[in-house]
């Protein structure tokens, strides 16, 4: 993007941006204006930027440590293992973190209407079903911030409402922050700050 394109941004070209744990942030922008890039910078999966990112005042914190304890991420393209089942995709994360019990995971799967799909390969699931699986998987770890990249794009209003309640509950339990990208702000979160890219 050119400097002219980002001249009105609440993020780009600013000397310092601080995200506080416990707050909810919404990034708004048209397609192709860097919403996913910002989340990838924070998550450490894209290093193609000028500047520094620090967590709790510490720069160059181990990416592996951050991803296990500080940052949970729901990617726009889900990053699921399509040759594994719904259950196996979630358990891969939870086996690393041991954050939730099997019973807690099953309750989430049931709330999202996916219990009958538990043992199906992800490649057989619809986009909306995959999106729900990726969100459940992201909640199976401790985090200071939950990063959501257009997380409801394939979901109907009922599922959005259920997921919003589930996410809000987890944020409250962990006293964590939320950073969400979307093309609009119609979702049911109460944002502390809306930032235009």
Q: Provide the residue-wise pLDDT of the chain in tens; the chain has 197 residues.
A: 555 555 677 877 778 899 999 999 999 887 777 889 999 999 999 988 888 899 888 887 888 899 999 999 999 999 999 999 999 999 999 999 999 999 999 999 999 999 999 999 999 999 999 999 999 999 999 999 999 999 999 999 999 999 999 999 999 999 999 999 987 766 679 999 999 88
Residues in a beta bridge with 57: none
Residue 15 has a pLDDT of: 83
Residue 3 has a pLDDT of: 58
DSSP string, 129-145: HHHHHHHHHHTSS--SE
Residue 34 has a pLDDT of: 82
Give the global pTM: 0.92
Residue 60 has a pLDDT of: 75
Residue 96 has a pLDDT of: 95
Residue 4 has a pLDDT of: 53
What 3-state DSSP class applies to 97? Answer: helix
Residue 185 has a pLDDT of: 61
Give the CA radius of gyration of the chain.
Answer: 17
The token duo for 60 is 């160059």
Residue 45 exposed, middle or buried by CB count within 10 Å (0-12, 13-18, 19+)? middle
What 3-state DSSP class applies to 84? Answer: coil
HEC sequence for 119-132 = CCEHHHCCHHHHHH
Cα-to-chain-centroid distance, residue 69:
14
For residues 41 and 47, what is the distance between their CA atoms, to the nearest angstrom?
A: 6
């Amino acid at each position: 993007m050119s400097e002219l394109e980002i001249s009105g941004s609440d993020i780009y070209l600013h000397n310092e941006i601080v995200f506080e744990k416990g707050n909810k942030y919404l990034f708004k922008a048209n397609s192709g204006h860097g919403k996913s890039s910002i989340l990838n910078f924070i998550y450490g999966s894209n290093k193609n930027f000028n500047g520094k990112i620090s967590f709790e005042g510490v720069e160059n914190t181990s990416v592996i440590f951050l991803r296990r304890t500080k940052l949970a991420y729901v990617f726009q393209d889900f990053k699921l293992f399509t040759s594994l089942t719904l259950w196996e995709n979630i358990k891969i994360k939870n086996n690393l973190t041991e954050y939730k019990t099997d019973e807690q995971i099953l309750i989430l799967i049931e709330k999202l209407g996916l219990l009958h799909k538990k043992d199906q390969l992800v490649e057989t699931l619809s986009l909306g079903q995959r999106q729900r699986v990726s969100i459940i998987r992201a909640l199976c770890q401790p985090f200071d911030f939950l990063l959501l990249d257009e997380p409801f794009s394939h979901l109907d209003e009922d599922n959005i409402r259920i997921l919003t309640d589930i996410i809000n509950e987890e944020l409250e339990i962990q006293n964590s922050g939320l950073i969400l990208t979307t093309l609009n702000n119609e979702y049911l979160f109460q944002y502390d700050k809306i930032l235009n890219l």
